[in-house]
Amino acid sequence: MNAEATRAIDWARVRNDFPLLTREVNGKPLIYLDSANTGQKPASVIEATDDFYRRHNANVSRAVHTLGSEATEAYEGARKKLAAFLGVHGDDLVLCSGTTFAINLVAYSWALPRLNAGDAILITRMEHHANIVPWQLVAQRTGATIKVAELLADGSLDLDALHALMTPEVKLLAIAHVSNVLGTVNPVAAICREARKRGIVSVVDGSQAAPHMALDIPAIGCDFYAITGHKMCGPTGTGALWARREHLQAMPPFLGGGEMIKEVRFDGTVFNDAPHKFEAGTPNIAGFVGLGAAVDYLSTLGMDHVATRESELLAHATEELRKVDGLRIFGEASDKAAVISFQVEGAHAHDLATLLDLEGVAVRSGQHCAHPLLQWFGVAATCRASLAFYNTHDEIDAFVAALLKVRRLLL
């Protein structure tokens, strides 16, 4: 979708869909620039969750009464909506609490039974801890090793080095689609193609991609794709793992309990079919109803419109921030999502974020669950302004003005 079409959307009206964005913080209008951490929710998502509890609340897949059927229909309806949004079949989508759970599911059910000493897991320098630590746990228990693909100075992946690391002992590649710190968009389709050629199973962490771009998971060609609902306008505690059907069929359950079985006897249990085999216990039903509403909301906006809008906001914010003396931006890849990590010379990131909060501006400071990445840059912390389609050019200008004021106070 081109910029022309994006402008046809009334973004000021879109912003009005988000009740929280009208509040003040410390006596100033809130400028929320922390959407990579968690996204704000439109009224339709809040209402869908509220309506579920007010009118339909019951457990899923258990009771034959009317409310039980309504709850099951709503939950399974959300699975179908999410599947359509991601371009996949609902039977291949495991609903879970988020990307962290989704990656751990792959680690424990796919990797742990298969990997041995002498095998390797390939990750990259820019991974979130959720895509590092589960693999370290697998490595500790199997004797496998971890290999790390490094970056180029602009925060993009060194693709030649990555491909060179795809040696025969590598059994699994775990890679972010979009970096939560740098905003770098990795060419995951090309990377997964190379992995597949070499018989390497690929796991893509799509937490930061799903909120910002139209996704077609089959076109990426990975084996597993993880998303998290709360970053894409949905409630916290919602997410999903898509997997190739042959993996879901072959993998043992991760957790045991109700819902994931067909029959339980003391001499053995018959597991349910995928994806239910991986959904033990009562799920976050109201949360998924809300996620279904979030998917409806984003689909009505159009993810291409969202992507174009956010790249305009990113361009404006980058241009304005570059004018600030002593400001360094981390991550300047040519393909970049609307995330800007920065430091101001002489000012600590936490001090900047604290003083910005007094001006009503919410940015994240710290290591962004990516210690190895910040170690590589040789910095202890950065500030991160992460934008969403509901932000405005005026907010960016106000943020930069607040940053200049704060900088004067600190230096």
Hey, which residues are catalytic here?
A: 369
Least separation in angstroms between CB 199 and ligand PLP: 25
Residue closer to ligand PLP (CB basis): 121 or 402: 121
Least separation in angstroms between CB 215 and ligand PLP: 15
Binding-site ranges for ligand PLP (CB under 6 A): 98-100, 128, 130-131, 176, 180, 205, 207-208, 228, 369
Residue closer to ligand PLP (CB basis): 79 or 177: 177
Residue closer to ligand PLP (CB basis): 39 or 360: 39
Least separation in angstroms between CB 270 and ligand PLP: 31
Q: Dihedral through CA 396, CA 298, CA 340, CA 180, nearest 10?
A: 160
Residue closer to ligand PLP (CB basis): 208 or 343: 208
Least separation in angstroms between CB 291 and ligand PLP: 12
Least separation in angstroms between CB 284 and ligand PLP: 12
Cβ contacts of 298 within 8 Å, gap of 6 or more:
85, 232, 233, 306
**Other residues' Cβ atoms within 10 Å of the Cβ of residue 268:** 7
Residue closer to ligand PLP (CB basis): 41 or 56: 41
Least separation in angstroms between CB 56 and ligand PLP: 26
φ/ψ (deg, to 5) at 255: -120, 145
Residue closer to ligand PLP (CB basis): 1 or 369: 369
**Other residues' Cβ atoms within 10 Å of the Cβ of residue 401:** 13
Least separation in angstroms between CB 168 and ligand PLP: 28
Which pair of structure tokens corresponds to residue 28? 């100033």
- Say if residues 42 and 18 touch (Cβ distance below 8 Å): yes
Residue closer to ligand PLP (CB basis): 201 or 209: 209
Which residue is it, tokens 């968690």? 38
Which residue is it, tokens 């090793």? 145
Least separation in angstroms between CB 228 and ligand PLP: 4
Residue closer to ligand PLP (CB basis): 98 or 155: 98
Longest Cα–Cα distance of the chain, Å, equals: 72
- Say if residues 74 and 292 touch (Cβ distance below 8 Å): yes
Query: Of 112, 162, 166, 160, nearest to 136 (Cα)?
Result: 112
Give the separation between CA 179 and CA 156, rounded to whole angstroms: 9
Cβ contacts of 186 within 8 Å, gap of 6 or more:
124, 156, 157, 175, 176, 177, 178, 179
